Amino acid sequence: MSMLNAAASYRREDRAAPRVAQRVPVVMPLVDVQVDLDGTVAVRLDREPYATDTPLHREDLQRVLCKVATDLDTPIRVEVREADGSAFTDIVAPESQVVRPPEPLRPATAPPDQTTGETASGRFLPLEDVALAVVVAHQTASEDGVANLRLPPALLEAHAGRLVLVGQQSGAVVISGLSG
């Protein structure tokens, strides 16, 4: 006998929502719920009575099942038997933990003990836009004086644009991607 109901859709409508990976045990804990005519419920967890401070009623059922799943930190199989003999089965997963969004990034500011550098040569034009390059790697030029770039593709993709190469002894400056 198949436990799948062909008429019931097991796909959630909120497909765009991010899914939280959960581990599901091979054998899930079984919660058996017996509903009496007056609406009181008897709850058993793995065939043992589930102790509560007060008698449980039908309206308490969702809260209790969520608490059991959260306390066990695993999905639980729930079998509910009504007083009229009807029964249904459901799976209740523990409530997902609330994930705090990351704190917003603070604007970058120079630490108070850091000094600002400047060039004293005066080789730039007044109000000239000056590009700064950070050295991420060193290469050795070939015997022909050609520098082959052996950088990770991800680094080149992340920093697309001009590339500045400076000869350490010759002082030659080559700017790739310079048009005009």
d(CA 175, CA 162): 7
Instruction: Output the pTM of the full model.
Output: 0.42
Q: What is the pLDDT of residues 17-26, one digit of tens each?
A: 555 556 666 7
Residue-level pLDDT at 35: 93
Would you state the structure tokens that stand for residue 176, as one six-digit string? Answer: 């790739």
DSSP H stretches of helix in 97-169: 153-158
To the nearest whole number, what is the mean pLDDT of the chain? Answer: 75
Q: What is the rounded distance in angstroms from the CA atom of residue 164 to the CA atom of residue 132?
A: 9
152 vs 57, residue with greater confidence: 57
What tens digit of pLDDT does each residue of 138-175 get? 778 888 888 777 776 777 677 666 777 777 777 777 77
Q: Which two tokens stand for residue 149?
A: 């770039």
Taking the C-alpha atoms of residue 114 and residue 132, their distance in angstroms, rounded to an integer, is: 18
pLDDT of residue 111: 55
Tokens of 20: 């939280």
Q: Does residue 71 register a pLDDT over 70?
A: yes
The answer to whether 90 and 80 are in contact (CB under 8 A) is yes
Q: How far is 70 from 60, CA to CA, in rounded Å?
A: 16
Give the model's confidence band at 129: pLDDT under 50 very low, under 70 low, under 90 confident, else very high: confident
177 or 43, which is more confident?
43
